[in-house]
Amino acid sequence: MTIINFLTTVFSNAAVLVGLISMVGLLALKKDFGSVLSGTFKTILGFIILGAGAGVVVNAVVPLGDLFNQVLNIPNAALPVNEVFVAIAQKSLGRQIGLVFLFAFVLNILIARFTPLKYIFLTGHHTLFIATLSVGMLSVMPFFAGNEPLLLAVASVVSAIWMVVFPALSAPFMKEITGGEDFVMGHFGTTNYVLAGFLGQFVGKKEDSTENIEFPKWISFMKEPLVAMGFVMFLIYLVVGAIGAGKGIAVGDILGGYWAYKGLLLALGFAGGIGVILLGVRMVLAEVVPAFHGIAEKIVPNAKPALDCPVVFPYAPNAVLVGYLSSIVGGLVVMAIQIAAGGAIGGVILPSMIIHFFVGGTAGVFGNSTGGWKGAVLGGFLTGVMFTLLAGTTYSALGAMNPEWAGSSFGDTDFGVLGNVLAFVGSLFK
């Protein structure tokens, strides 16, 4: 168990995991010591930079989510946060989750080696999330009670299949986005990404890309993606903050200072975080893609890495913003329906700005690749709708299956799909 715990700790760190895989690929290419060391360290540094940028983005949007919740003031509502459910489930199922995390990764490599699905899932935290969801929901089914080996085996297989099938679904659209086949999507919002890419072609033309939008001279600054992101986020903070202030809410206390000024700093911090993410992505891709050619040649022929969603941001930064904003709108529409239904449709799911940004923004890029700006709008809107609906039904299912899980849920749409499938299977064994 000491060895397994150590390996789980190593593999759960995305930067170290991808760095080690990059090292294996460079060794397979018989690179000299200096090149191997440099490539390994640059890969790890790139992921650390990417993670640091994501942290800045999260710090900038969490206050906005808190502000939304205060302004809306909806009792008994839920804000899906993947890490919350993981923390709760780890208390009683930590060992099983760690084992499934490790076994699923090994199975993923074996599937890539011996089947046509040559994709290796490298987003460590999402591997942990899928392992936690699988173990958690299977563990409360009577069929697995007292049979840990069977639980571990089924949860590992389910997780590994999810880690291979969804990257495979993203492959045709990733080729459209990047113009190549060097990597695919390794992030569990792929249900939305594929839908955005597929439906985009029916609502618009890829030639009408978000990146070709002609802005009037007076807002020509919107041509700069980072400036545009910061400006739009500032407007959102101003509008929501003004509504909150009008309702007598202490907006300054929520944002941590003079609210309009703090909103400006948070908005610019958001844009700065995106800039850091883009830098990290470029570093990772510059090292991982060549290293994976080494793995493909020597270990898993034709292997392709499945990487975290920010890898597509540099290809259409404007689409990220469009998808993000459209996702918020879609989420608010469904939330309004849930409120009108008195919580009968999966409770009431509050806007998770983190999911709206990362999943909605990525869906915008996929939609833009086939349907231009209209596809980006549709992709983002569908994300808000589906994330809110699926998170709601998963939220209800988790609370019904285990009272300890009431109040927590996963957010990304693929987790919602799996959560509902497992909840249905569980209902058959009652």
Q: How many CB atoms lie within 10 A of CB 276?
A: 18
Q: Percentage of the chain surpassing pLDDT 70?
A: 92
Two tokens, residue 397: 């299912």
Digit-coded pLDDT (tens) for 39-75: 889 888 887 887 788 788 778 877 877 787 788 776 6
Q: Is the model's pLDDT at 384 over the cut of 80?
A: yes
Q: Model confidence at 372, in pLDDT bands (50, 70, 90)? A: very high
Q: Percentage of the chain surpassing pLDDT 90?
A: 30
**Separation of alpha carbons 344 and 87, rounded Å:** 27
Q: Which residues contact 219 (CB under 8 A, 6 or more apart)?
A: none
**Separation of alpha carbons 245 and 374, rounded Å:** 34
Digit-coded pLDDT (tens) for 76-115: 667 777 776 777 777 778 778 878 887 888 899 899 989 9
Q: Which range scores top for mean pLDDT: 60-74, 169-183, 370-384?
A: 370-384
Please tell me the predicted confidence (pLDDT) of residue 274: 78
Q: How many CB atoms lie within 10 A of CB 124?
A: 22
Q: Is the pTM of this model over 0.75?
A: yes
More confident call, 426 vs 169: 169
Q: Model confidence at 230, in pLDDT bands (50, 70, 90)? A: confident
Q: Token pair 């760190």 is at which residue?
A: 13
Q: Model confidence at 177, in pLDDT bands (50, 70, 90)? A: very high
Amino acid letter for position 386? M
Q: Model confidence at 386, in pLDDT bands (50, 70, 90)? A: very high
Q: Model confidence at 220, in pLDDT bands (50, 70, 90)? A: low
**Separation of alpha carbons 301 and 109, rounded Å:** 11
**Separation of alpha carbons 276 and 421, rounded Å:** 37
Please tell me the predicted confidence (pLDDT) of residue 123: 83
Average pLDDT rounded to a whole number, residues 220-239: 78
Two tokens, residue 245: 């202030």
Kindly provide the residue ranges of all beta strands, DSSP E only, lying in 152-297, ordered along the sequence.
184-185
**Separation of alpha carbons 53 and 278, rounded Å:** 8
The span from the first CA to the last CA of the chain, in angstroms, equals 33
Please tell me the predicted confidence (pLDDT) of residue 77: 66
Where do the structural domains in the chain lie, given as residue ranges? 2-428
